[in-house]
Structure 1
Amino acid sequence: MSDNPLMAPAPTHRNVRTLLWQGLWTAYEPLISGLRRIPLPTDVEISGGAFGITADLIDGSHLWIASTGDLPIEPAELTGFHVRRVHADNPTVDELVYDSTPDGPQAEHRNNVVPLLTAITTFVTERRLAPPVINLFSIRTAAVTETHRAQVMRGPDLFPSREEAVKEYGQLTHRMEHEAGWRLIYQTGGADWPVSVWNDLKGSIIIVFVADEGQAMS
């Protein structure tokens, strides 16, 4: 599996080059990274001196994350989080998602990011408002050449299902055996996670296997 967890892409607008935006992004990075792993496209909103965090939903609405007022520049000054689902073009969309400010229903959690992210994840999952994700698979090879150099390579294609990757694995190994002159010396994993070891007359050894490349936003 990929070592990199799925994250929504970071913003690319011109504000990202300003010190204020960068400072707020860094200050609230634990929350922002958690939102991006849901994965929700997340941004720091700076408008007329108002600061908040937005997380886009797939129906055109978004989450507005603030506090008793705007988010303070310093997270230590927070009095809890207040999260609403709103829509820029549809004022009828106005829904409380989470409120850990002193008078809110989740006040006991105050500035704790963990229950906040849990509540947001539950909210967007139940309503199917988060971008859909797919699992990706590839064919990988690990080779040791006749000059004793190691090479690890991923095939050029990523597949949206393990079954498709296994099918490509079968076609590739068939070509290796019948067209390229490789000799099968070991195989395991069955039809689910096949792994095979091959050698040739020059002394090269190659391992071919189906790899889980993690998830991506579809």
Structure 2
Amino acid sequence: MFKPLPFPNHHRVNDPLWQRLWVTYSDVITMLRSDGITTDVEMGGGEFNITAELPNGCELLIRASSESGAEALPLDRDELGAWQVMHLCAEGAERHLVYDSARGDQAANGTDVLALMAVVLPHVKAEQDAAHSGVDTFPPRAANHWRLALGLDCAEAEPSTKADGPELPANVMTLLAEYGIEAEAGVDTGTYRIAFDLPDDTYLLCYPLDIDADGVPAAWEVTRQHHHQPGHMQNVVPVDGEPCLFDTVRAHLTSALSNAFRR
């Protein structure tokens, strides 16, 4: 039986400031914890950070980007300009930058949480795989818990009839099948696309881009929309093909599972 991660057990949980930070950044914290990652809010010397434990004793430090102001997470979420993620193993030890949405190619992401998770979750998975060969970032027991909690069918999805065009990569199809999600291909305003529902009344539209002579897309455009709020959407354009598509779909699925489970 799936056992959810225990709530942090330390004296700070009774601190109103800690509680305020936990609630303010609950979307990030919930996504990490739903993925089996021990997560906490760290307060020291006026610095507020989110910490995510890694299986080798290291941790990820999620904070505000120094390029957009102070590194400490602000109490007012509206004051957050960009995210920064550092990988560190011990005090005084060498640390390296994992993500900074105020610099370079990542600057367009700003405070977007899904873009943050699309980098953080695969990074944690790589650390887990290195520490425990063959362990998925979505452990089977967690997957079963989500299916039961959300009323999803545990059986694999039946293959759907697809229109002519590229198919989703096998790793994406396997991920969707694990949660009983069926993908449907078709044509939307003259453009080929593959669509599938997520468990929180949203859905993803995946458009293959730059298809080569073998019919393999070099990139995908992913749009997430609400069934009941058609004007509310988010576009993500992965530029490096299958690996980025898998990470993007997985981040959106994690978000949707978290949203649905909180209802």
Which TM-score tier does this pair reach, normalised by the shorter chain? Answer: 0.5 to 0.7
Alpha-carbon deviations, 1:173-197, whole Å to 9, x = none? xxxxxxxxxxxxxxxxxxxxxxxxx
SS at match of 2:141: strand
Give distance in 2, aligned partners of 1:7 and 1:36.
8
Q: Higher helix share goes to which structure?
A: 2
Q: State the AA in 2 paired with 1:11.
A: P
Q: Which has the higher contact order (CA 8 A, sep 6+)?
A: 1
TM norm structure 1: 0.55
Unaligned runs of 5+ in 2: 145-263
Partner-residue secondary structure (3-state), 2:81: coil
Among 9, 27, 38, the residue aligned to 2:6: 9
Question: Out of 69, 72, 75, which is 2:74 matched to?
Answer: 72
Q: The residue matched to 2:123 in structure 1 has which SS?
A: helix
Q: What amino acid sits opposite 1:120 in the alignment?
A: V
Query: Cα deviation per residue 1:97-148 (whole Å; 9 max; x = unaligned)?
Result: 11112x3441111111011111111112123268853438x9xxxxxxxxxx
The answer to whether residue 90 in structure 2 is matched with residue 84 in structure 1 is no
Q: Work out the number of aligned pairs and report it.
A: 133
In 2, the alpha carbon distance for the partners of 1:9 and 1:117 equals 21
| Pair 1:27 & 2:35 matched | no
**Is 1:52 matched with 2:49?**
yes
Which residue matches 1:114?
114
Which of 138, 141, 146 matches 1:135?
141
CA 1:14/1:123 → structure 2, altered by over 3 Å: closer, same or farther? same
Q: Percent identity, aligned pairs only?
A: 34
Give the alignment's Cα RMSD to 1 decimal.
2.7
User: How far, CA to CA, are the matches of 1:76 and 1:82 in structure 2?
Assistant: 16
Judge conservation of contact 2:100–2:106 (CA < 8 Å) in 1: yes
Give the TM-score normalised by structure 2: 0.46
How far apart are 1:88 and its partner, in Å?
A: 1.9
Q: Distance in 2 between matches of 1:84 and 1:7?
A: 26
Aligned 8 A contact 1:51 1:72 in 2: yes
**Whole-Å Cα distance in 1 between the matches of residues 91 and 43 of structure 2?**
19
Residues 43-83 of structure 1, C-alpha deviations (whole Å, 9 max, x = no match): 01000111111000010000001112111111110011000
1:121-160 alignment to 2 at 5 Å?
A: 121-128=121-128, 132=135, 133-135=139-141
Indicate conservation of the 8 Å contact 1:7/1:38, yes or no. Answer: no
Q: Secondary structure at the match of 1:65?
A: strand
Give unmatched runs, 5+ long, in structure 1: 139-218
Contact 2:54–2:128 (Cα < 8 Å) also in 1: no
Task: Work out the CA distance in 1 between the residues paired with 2:124 and 2:58.
Answer: 11
Structure number with higher strand proportion: 1
**Paired AA for residue 66 in structure 1:** R
